[in-house]
Chains A and B, each alone.
Chain A
Amino acid sequence: MTTHNEPAESRNGRASVRRRRFLGGLGASGLATAAAVFGGARAANAYTAGCCALAYSPTMSVSQCVSNARYYMWTCSNPQYPGDRLHACDCCEAENSSGQYYASAFRCYP
């Protein structure tokens, strides 16, 4: 029978690896939780232009938007001036041929 006296340096090395794994796991869990809590929601209507809440930063004109095969067009009115055409905006979301919305547009009156 032989006894094995492990060198202190080796024991410290293994403990260090365990600590790193523990802290790494802790960090990964934190990131996963943060991703689940904050990353899960759909980033819908991220851009406000006039009284429009658009899915994308407006990069095209309304006439370009409505030239797409499919699009969503809606008029909003400014709550400060309801009914006043001078304070209404047309909001447009353009859809590409694969059925995905990809760009937004708006125009306010006049």
Chain B
Amino acid sequence: MFVLFGFILLVLAGAVVLLFAMLGELASRVPDRGASSRTRTVIPLETARLGRAPGQWPEGLAGCADGKPSVILVLSTACTACADVASQLSEGSPDASWEQLAVLVSCPDPDAGQEFIARHGLRRFPHHVDEGGEWVSEQFAVRQSPVALVFHDGRLRSAFQFADVAALRSTISDVAHQKEAV
């Protein structure tokens, strides 16, 4: 009798765990409510050191040193909007396949940065965990997030503050077309 009771208890516990797992899966498939309230404003970050070519690139971002245009998103573990930006890059989202993209995570300690990268599935992109934000602040005078750094020929060409990744892509594309036209 008691064995049966224990078995039923085990089955019920398993069912509860399954229920929560299903709720979690459903929640991840429902569009983010923040998306509708998220601003599409993209503002140039004028304090960044435009024109600078870093002497040394972190291993994870070495691909940005070659001539191809590339974009580094500067995120931080200490920034709530950065988690929202990271969620916009989740697998299956339109911006998940942005080929030019790399991610830099500024953080108080490397474990926190790696945990942020893993939690948001950002390993798919070239990435660098920047302890203390030292590299990005020394090279480009950037100590804030979320920020996008746009490179061409290994030089910082423009920098933007943003909240919406799709709006950022659109702005970067427009700026590139304008430059081509000139």
Contacts and interface: CB of A to CB of B under 8 A. Distances in A.
Interface of A: 19, 22-23, 26, 30, 42, 44-45, 48, 51-55, 72-83, 88, 91, 93, 95, 101
Contact of A74 (B42, B111, B144): B144
B161 A95 contact: no
Contact of B108 (A81, A83, A101): A101
A53 B115 CA distance: 14
B106 to A, nearest CB: 6
A44 B2 contact: no
Contacts, number: 100
Interface stretch (B75-83, B95-103, B120-128): B75-83
Interface stretch (B3-11, B49-57, B60-68, B174-182): B3-11
A75 B3 CA distance: 58
Contact of B78 (A19, A81, A83, A93): A93
Interface SS majority for chain B: mixed
A76 B76 contact: yes
A45 B78 contact: yes
A81 B42 CA distance: 10
Contact of B41 (A45, A55, A83, A91): A83
A51 B6 CA distance: 47
A30 B17 CA distance: 11
B106 A82 contact: no
A91 B75 CA distance: 13
B161 A53 contact: no
A44 B132 CA distance: 16
Interface of B: 2-3, 6, 9-10, 13, 37-39, 41-43, 45, 76-84, 106-109, 111-112, 115, 132-133, 143-146, 161-164
A83 B81 contact: no
A95 B144 CA distance: 20
Contacts of A74: 76, 78-79, 106, 133, 143-145
Nearest to A41: B115
A107 B77 CA distance: 17
B103 to A, nearest CB: 16
B81 A77 contact: yes
B130 to A, nearest CB: 11
A18 to B, nearest CB: 9
Contacts of A101: 108-109
B160 to A, nearest CB: 9
A82 B2 CA distance: 61
